[in-house]
């Protein structure tokens, strides 16, 4: 069963993408660590971290593509799941600091000592163990998505209503995490991390490994999502995206399927957040900004929704552009981003990858048709688009 799942999931583009990701996971750390700094092929550490960050963004965009591209749920709160995963990882990293904080308290993180707290809150227990934190990285976003989705899909909240509610969800979380009493560091969030699994978080080796881990996680998620959307279940997902009522009347439990996709997607977003935090070294409530979630949507839209590869390309393109743009003309980045939103929705509704695929398919159909014409002398009508 698993093999058939794998075989089905691996069509040519996915195989190529996974191969590229695996190659990157091996090559980039090698070029960073094994070559001398003046070597022409040397990859500087800051680039490793930067692209590691892009890969986690790509994973987040992929997660959104699973629900938006294949299920028709436009979630405007996916950055919330990303941030929750990030907070779970951040809590582990905070506990790893131990007595090295500025107050030197072996148990309590600095901000709690600052707030005059005497005991560790109950929800901080267990985060000193990596396996527990890693579990929470997927469980917490998954659980919240499950509860939220269970309520939302059961009462058939869909379309823009769902989008607005997801936005309200991330807004509520934003407000909640800003509170000092919540026990998540309030405004400042969690930062000043020292090490992860015993390795110094600033070291080149750790950064290269985190990059490799991000690439591997992305490759694995690509295989999993591809498996999901190419399975029979995935076909029904697409059906309910295009005609929800009809799918329901055919006897499928639409809300269960949506709930499954939404929860899996939230878990993937959580993993992305967990890989993001050690690479940027901070997590704060700003990650819950509704604007962030909408930005994820534009990455996916630029790349092409419903294509799996598209969101990855889109996330890297837009964020690469953002890095270059904000360095060169910081004033104009928001103009560019806003323009991107408008232009993509107006002129590139299928995104870069979707449009490319569209043209490739047309060319193939045209060639097949002309070949047919040459062979039989009959003009066949062109294949429907």
As separate numbers, helices (DSSP H) first and strands (DSSP E) second, the chain gives 15, 4
Q: CB of 347: closest distance to another protein in angstroms?
A: 9
- In the complex with another protein, the residue whose CB is nearer, 329 or 366, is 329
Q: How is the chain split among helix, strand and coil, in percent rounded to 5?
A: 75, 0, 20
Inter-helix orientation angle 160-178/78-97, to 10°: 20
Judged by beta carbon, residue 75 or residue 214, the one nearer another protein is 75
Cβ–Cβ under 8 Å, residues 80 and 272: no
Shortest reach from residue 189's CB to another protein, in Å: 16
CB of 192 to another protein, least distance (A): 25
Residue among 57 and 148 whose Cβ is closer to another protein: 148
Q: Token digits for 22? A: 């695996």
The minimum distance between CB 12 and another protein, in angstroms, equals 30
Q: Which distant-in-sequence residues (6+ apart) come within 8 Å of 34 by Cβ?
A: none
Could you write out the DSSP letters of every residue in 208-272? HHHHHHHHHHHHHHHHHHHHHHHSHHHHHHHHHHH-HHHHHHTT--HHHHHHHHHHHHHHHHHHH
Rounded least distance, CB 293 to another protein, Å: 11
Q: Which is nearer to another protein, 41 or 243 (CB)?
A: 243
- State the Cα–Cα distance between residues 193 and 201, nearest whole angstrom: 7
Q: How far lies 168's CA from each of 151, 185, 293, 312, in Å?
A: 14, 22, 11, 26
Distance in angstroms (rounded) separating the CA atoms of residues 250 and 247: 5
CB of 299 vs another protein, minimal distance in Å: 11
CB of residue 313 to another protein, shortest distance in Å: 18
What pairing do the DSSP bridges indicate for beta strands 195-196 and 190-191? unpaired
Q: Is 283 or 298 the residue whose CB approaches another protein more closely? A: 298
Distance in Å, CB of 341 to another protein, minimum: 2
Taking Cα atoms as reference points, which of 283, 277, 303, 269 lies closest to residue 63? 269
Angle between helices 130-154 and 78-97 (to 10 degrees): 160
DSSP state of 35: S
Distance CA 39, CA 29 (A): 14
Task: Show Cβ contacts of residue 262 under 8 Å, excluding neighbours closer than 6 positions.
Answer: 67, 71, 73, 75, 145, 146, 149, 153
| Shortest distance, position 253 Cβ to another protein, whole Å | 18
Binding site for another protein (CB under 8 A): 74, 76, 148, 151-152, 154-157, 159-161, 163-165, 167-169, 171-172, 175-176, 178-179, 290, 294, 297-298, 301, 331-332, 334-335, 337-342, 344-346, 349
Cα 95 versus chain centre, distance = 25
For another protein, the closer of residues 47 and 337 by Cβ is: 337
Residues forming beta bridges with residue 190, ordered by sequence position: 283
DSSP class of residue 41 equals T
Q: Whose Cβ is closer to another protein: residue 141's or residue 351's?
A: 351
CB of 335 to another protein, least distance (A): 5
Question: How many residues are there in the chain?
Answer: 385
Closest CB to another protein among 216 and 337? Answer: 337
Is the CB of 48 or the CB of 152 nearer to another protein? 152
CB of 135 or CB of 175, closer to another protein:
175
């Amino acid at each position: 069963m698993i093999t058939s799942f794998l075989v089905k999931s691996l069509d040519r583009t996915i195989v190529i993408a996974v191969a590229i990701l695996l190659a990157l996971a091996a090559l980039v750390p090698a070029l960073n660590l094994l070559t001398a700094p003046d070597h022409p092929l040397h990859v500087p550490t800051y680039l490793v971290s930067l692209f590691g960050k892009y890969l986690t963004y790509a994973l987040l965009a992929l997660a959104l593509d699973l629900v938006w591209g294949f299920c028709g749920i436009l979630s405007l709160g996916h950055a919330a799941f990303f941030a929750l995963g990030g907070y779970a990882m951040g809590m582990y990293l905070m506990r790893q600091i131990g007595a090295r904080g500025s107050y030197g308290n072996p148990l309590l993180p600095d901000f709690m000592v600052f707030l005059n707290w005497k005991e560790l809150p109950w929800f901080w227990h267990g985060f000193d163990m990596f396996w527990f934190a890693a579990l929470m990285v997927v469980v917490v976003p998954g659980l919240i998505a499950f509860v939220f989705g269970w309520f939302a899909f059961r009462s058939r909240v869909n379309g823009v209503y769902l989008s607005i509610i997801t936005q309200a969800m991330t807004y509520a979380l934003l407000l909640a995490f800003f509170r000092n009493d919540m026990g998540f560091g309030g405004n400042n969030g969690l930062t000043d991390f020292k090490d992860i699994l015993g390795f110094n978080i600033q070291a080149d080796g750790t950064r290269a490994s985190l990059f490799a881990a991000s690439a591997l996680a992305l490759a694995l998620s690509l295989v999993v999502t591809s498996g999901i959307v190419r399975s029979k279940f995935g076909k029904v997902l697409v059906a309910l995206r295009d005609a929800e009522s009809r799918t329901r009347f055919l006897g499928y439990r639409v809300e269960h399927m949506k709930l499954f996709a939404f929860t899996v997607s939230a878990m993937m977003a959580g993993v992305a957040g967990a890989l993001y935090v050690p690479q940027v070294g901070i997590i704060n409530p700003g990650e819950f900004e509704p604007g962030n979630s909408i930005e994820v949507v534009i990455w996916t839209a630029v790349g092409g929704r419903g294509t799996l590869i598209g969101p990855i390309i889109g996330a890297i393109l837009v964020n690469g552009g953002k890095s270059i743009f904000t360095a060169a003309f910081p004033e104009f980045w928001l103009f560019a981003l806003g323009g991107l939103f408008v232009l993509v929705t107006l002129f590139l509704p299928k995104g870069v990858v979707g449009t490319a695929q569209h043209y490739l398919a047309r060319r193939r159909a045209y060639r097949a048709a002309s070949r047919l014409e040459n062979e039989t002398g009959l003009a066949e009508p062109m294949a429907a688009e």
